[in-house]
């Protein structure tokens, strides 16, 4: 289940069900068991029917009030487009830039990490691999 089409497409899971809902609300609105059940039943049906690896099935469900479309990462009135045509294309992204090297919240975090792992960039223990 996803509400982040481009991220899901980049990860390329075996199959996914997309809902055009706000991030963090992939399984529906709070206190709406009927809507949540409808969503989950649609997702299970989509998972059973998806036969193409990497398929992302748009469940076609609507959140209702579109006020949530204002950029939730920025918190102002600028809107993010989420139309079918826009999915898979680069859009304005207000998140912090991502890097392929470790980033630390403070110099103390860096010091502690280097103390534990040395200068090794890819800490295999931290990503779940045993030495």
**61 and 106 together in one domain:** no
Residue range 16-30, pLDDT digits in tens: 999 998 888 899 988
Domain span including residue 64? 1-94
C-alpha distances (whole Å) from 22 to each of 71, 81, 124 are 10, 12, 34
Regarding whether 124 and 88 lie in a shared domain, the answer is: no
User: Between the CA of residue 6 and those of 67, 94, 106, 114, what are the distances in Å?
Assistant: 21, 15, 30, 34
pLDDT at 40: 95
The answer to whether residues 90 and 126 belong to one domain is no
The reply to whether 24 and 88 lie within a common domain is yes
Residue 17 host element (H or E): strand 15-20
| pLDDT tens sequence across 28-83 | 988 999 999 999 999 999 999 999 989 999 999 988 878 877 765 433 333 333 44
How many distinct structural domains can be found in the chain? Answer: 2
């Amino acid at each position: 289940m996803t509400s982040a089409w481009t991220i899901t497409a980049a990860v390329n899971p075996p199959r996914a069900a997309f809902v055009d809902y706000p991030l963090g609300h992939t399984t529906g609105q709070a206190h709406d068991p009927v809507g949540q059940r409808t969503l989950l039943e649609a997702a299970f049906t989509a998972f059973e029917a998806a036969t193409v690896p990497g398929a992302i099935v748009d469940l076609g469900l609507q959140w209702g009030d579109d006020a949530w479309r204002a950029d939730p990462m920025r918190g102002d009135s600028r809107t993010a487009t989420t139309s079918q045509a826009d999915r898979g294309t680069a859009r304005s992204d207000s998140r912090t830039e991502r890097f392929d090297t470790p980033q630390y919240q403070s110099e103390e975090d860096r010091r502690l990490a280097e103390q534990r792992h040395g200068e090794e960039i890819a800490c295999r223990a931290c990503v779940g691999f045993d030495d």
